[in-house]
Structure 1
């Protein structure tokens, strides 16, 4: 049966849904750091994106000389969107007050006949949330694999309102971005952000009317190998970091959502590969039988009660 698991540490709280092993909420001092949900997510809130993030164009790909066809899950573009595990009920493997670990076996089927074992750990500490994922190939053939996550960062007020008065600022440590066509599939190679609308490097700039549904790469990292995105508001800021296994960040300003959700929150999606990697091969992980891969990202906050 699906469950909602609660985590607590100091002034941080989080919930994790066994359906999709998804992040349902994250708060500090009772204030949301991500756009939360209780029952059903909207626009992939908090979801795990595996064995591919973003889109597989035309819902088909070739791997090791064979062609595979996936279900079309985004009719508007004809793509297969965001993998196969967000509606799977995962098994809780370990549950403690401040952390939980969940696992599932992706047994392989039509379109993706590659068995995988996936395990995800969510842990709270004084710095915030850390999420660690391990994937193992349990089959007999090499498997194509990519991973992403879909949290929406929030500042406690709709970003469209904060941006209108230049009170929302965004910092993205990316030197290049990936141009895309009207189906949001890559066109050509990544290009420099220098001096353009997508130049959001530290110290960042006011979001204003910037529209984003964009993949960034060429990530600048700190001494620990982490790339940081910061969303800053009038009295605090929220950050997402990812380790070197995540070479891409997709940012989505939610302009295509309806009603009060439009431009209310910012999706910051760490990805191991860009959109349509199953076709391009860019950043694609080729997991040999018995091979494992590990990936870590986190969400934190700063400046509560003081100007950011």
Structure 2
């Protein structure tokens, strides 16, 4: 029986890697590593093949790789918003766009609270601060199952008043090809949210007939994507499923979301920091709300005091003979 392992054990005199302790889980031919810093999904392999384009144990996460994005995902224009009579200003950590991106927990240490060979749960206390004035208890569980990897996120508001909330994740999907241009992509979405240059939040438009229409499998080619997709089609199990497929090897990887995640941010990696990694993987990011939700209120979760919230998403490596339809419109 495989056991939960750590790449580096943190004994006195040993230096931890940039992402802290490394927590390994395994089941059958699948293995994943999650890091102490940010509860980040650093790697996930099935049958020895990478499902994620992650990062090495001696590196830190770059370009959001595998990170947890809370208490808001994606961009918050000017880092400024109002909620419950409070005016908040978050640090601008994407200076070129003058925004606050991907929340406040991806560089914090998370603590393992439950572990077995195939599952780990990590917790983080998000304390009130200038950019976010509420106290949240956050937990994320990574579980390897027969069907693949399932990620469950839980949030509890420990304050006496409602708190604004959103969460996302940032996995880069790979099929081991040097380029994504020849891969087929399926995004089960009938709307795409284009940036609104008036700074009022993204504008939803229909995907039908546009370069962003991937409701049916389509070769990526030279298309560049960095947009949020909504109005997701779901199957009988209530899940919406995105898929990246390689026609040559007949390998596929699927990312599914439950009803808590109403948006998928899709990024073809054209501007990642390392030029050699550009357009070698596709980030398909589950999000509960669109960009700028703290400013617009669109699909913003309002966490009531002591009332728990939960949502799940997952990954599975799929052989050609086992591929399933992406779903039907809800």
User: Same fold, TM exceeding 0.5?
Assistant: yes
The within-5 A match list for 1:133-212 is 133-160=153-180, 163=181, 166=182, 168-181=183-196, 186-188=201-203, 190-202=204-216, 204-212=217-225
In the alignment, which of 245, 257, 270 is matched to residue 255 of structure 1? 270
Q: Does residue 1:220 correspond to 2:243, yes or no? A: no
Q: Deviations over 1:129-173 (max 9, x none)?
A: 00001000001121000000000000112334xx2xx3x000000
Report whether the alignment pairs 1:277 with 2:290: no
Shift of 1:186: 3.2
Deviates more, 1:256-265 or 1:276-285: 256-265
Which residue number in structure 1 is paired with residue 79 of structure 2? 59
> Could you say what secondary structure the match of 2:103 adopts?
coil
The alpha-carbon distance between structure 1 residues 10 and 193, as it changes in their structure 2 partners (threshold 3 A), is same
Residue 304 of structure 1: how far off its partner (Å): 7.1
In 2 relative to 1, CA 304–199 (structure 1 residues): closer, same or farther, beyond 3 Å? closer
Matched, 1:230 2:243: yes
Q: 1:205 to 1:29 in 2, by over 3 A?
A: same
Deviations 1:242-281 (A, max 9, x none): 0000000000001012311111110000000000000000
Aligned to 1:118: 138
In structure 1, what is the Cα distance between the partners aligned to 2:52 and 2:199?
24
Question: Counterpart in 1 of 2:62?
Answer: 42
Structure-1 residue corresponding to 2:23? 5
The alignment yields a C-alpha RMSD, in angstroms, of: 1.9
Segments of 5+ residues of structure 1 without an aligned counterpart are none
Count of residues paired in the alignment: 301
Contact 1:55 1:185 survives alignment (8 Å): no
Task: Provide TM-score, normalisation by structure 1.
Answer: 0.94
Structure 2: runs of 5+ lacking an equivalent:
1-9, 11-19, 325-330
Alignment of 1:97-112 (within 5 A): 97-112=117-132
Asked whether the equivalents of residues 9 and 98 of structure 1 are also in contact (C-alpha less than 8 Å), the reply is: yes
The aligned residue for residue 288 of structure 1 is 304
Alignment check: 8 A CA contact 2:202 2:292 kept? no
- How far apart are the structure 2 equivalents of 1:181 and 1:148? 21
Shift of 1:199: 0.6
CA–CA distance in structure 1, aligned partners of residues 189 and 254 of structure 2: 15
Q: Which whole-Å deviations, capped at 9, do the CAs of 1:85-121 have from their partners, x for residues lacking one?
A: 0011101011111110111111111120100000110
Partner Cα separation in structure 1 for residue 222 and residue 268 of structure 2: 10
For residues 8-27 of structure 1, give each alpha carbon's deviation from its aligned partner in whole angstroms, at most 9, with x where no partner exists: 11111100101101101000
